[in-house]
Amino acid sequence: MKNKKQYSFTVITAAYNAKRYISKCILSVIKNKYDLRKVEHIIVDDGSTDNTYQIAKMYADKYPHIKVYRKPNANWGGVMNFVRKNKLVHNDYVVICDSDDMLTRNAFLNADKYINDADIAIGGFYFWNGKHKIFPVYSCYIPFKRIMHDYKFKKIYSLTPVPFSYYIKRQMFYAYKNFKENAPYQDIPLFFWAQKNAKIISNIPKIMGYYWWVRPGNTMSCDTQESNKNFKIFLQNMRYLESIDEPTFAFLYLLRMQKFFEMVKQRNIKFTFRSNPSVKILPWYFRWVTWLIYESKVKKYFIIKKD
C-alpha cells in the first residue's frame, strides 16, 4: 500500500565516548535510500571525554540534515529531555538510534511504506556482535496483522524492542512524561507507554537496524559497582511491567538481562502478574525451548494472580 504522503523522520542519537563507532551510526543514516531533505539527525554529545563531539561535528559541517549539540552527562534519559526541552524535533516521526547501533539502508523506505499514520510503528532488528549478524527479531509473529487497534492484542504485540526499531509520532514523543536522568534502560517504559497510549499501531514486517547488545563498556557489560546501581533501575522497569501486566515482556527482559536475573535469583525477588507469559509471539521453533526455560528457571519468580 502506497502512502499519499512521504513522511519525514527525526533520528535522535545520544552519544557518550563513542569515537570508535559513532561514524557507522551517522553513515547508516546518510546512506539510507531516502530523501535526506525529509530527515534530520540530532546528535547530542552527553559530556564525552573523548573526541566524539568533534567527529559528529565533522559530519554536521558536511551534511545539513545533521545537527550536533553538547550537554553535561545525564545518561540517555537526559538526552531525551534535552531534545524535548529545546523542541529540536520538527519531523513527523521520531526514531532513536543509539551511537553504537546502525539503521538498515531501507529503514526509512520501509517505515514510510508501512506506517500509515499510526501513532507508533514497530519493526524488527538484527542482534549483531560488531562484525556479524547473529539472528533477526521481528516485531510481530502474525505478519498479516498490519494495523492494530485493540489493546488486548497490542499487549502481546512486540518481542524485545530496541529504540531504533520503533517509530513514534512527534506528538507522542513530546507527550511522554519526563525521562529519568542519570539512569539506564529508559527506553523500556517509553516503549510500553507509547504502545499502551497509541490509538493505532502499525507493524513493519522488515528489519530496521543492527543492535550491538554486547559492546564492551555499555550497560549490558558493566562492572559490579555499576551493576548494583543499574539493578535498581532494572527492578523499577520490572515493577513497571508488573503495573501494566506485561508478563511476556518481563520474562523475555529477564532472559535478556542475564546478569540481573542472577541477582534476582540470589535475592529471591518475586514479580506478580495476572497471567502467564505467552510464547505465541515467537517463531514455532523457539516456542517449546522458551517455554521449558520459563517452567524450569523463571516460573518460581512469577506469581500469577488471575482476576
Domain spans, the chain: 9-219, 222-304
Q: Convert the pLDDT of each residue in 152-209 to its tens digit.
A: 444 444 555 788 999 999 999 999 987 888 877 788 788 878 877 888 888 888 899 9
CA-based radius of gyration for the chain: 19
DSSP structure string for 122-163: EEEEEEE-SSSEEEEE-S-S-TT--EE--HHHHTT--SS--G
Are 14 and 79 in contact by the 8 Å Cβ rule? The answer is yes
**CA dist list (Å): 15 to 31, 77, 146, 222:** 20, 12, 33, 17
**Rounded mean pLDDT of the chain?**
84
Q: How far is CA 8 from the centre of its chain?
A: 20
Helix or strand (DSSP H, E) at 11? strand 9-15
- Cβ 202 vs Cβ 112: under 8 Å: no
Phi and psi at 103, nearest 5°, equal -90, 150
Q: Is 162 exposed, middle or buried (0-12, 13-18, 19+ CB in 10 A)?
A: buried
Q: Is the pTM of this model over 0.75?
A: yes
Residue type, 177: K
pLDDT digits (tens, 9 = 90+) for 241-279: 888 788 887 887 888 778 889 999 999 999 999 988 877
The verdict on domain 9-219 having CATH code 3.90.550.10 is: yes
* Amino acid found at 285: Y
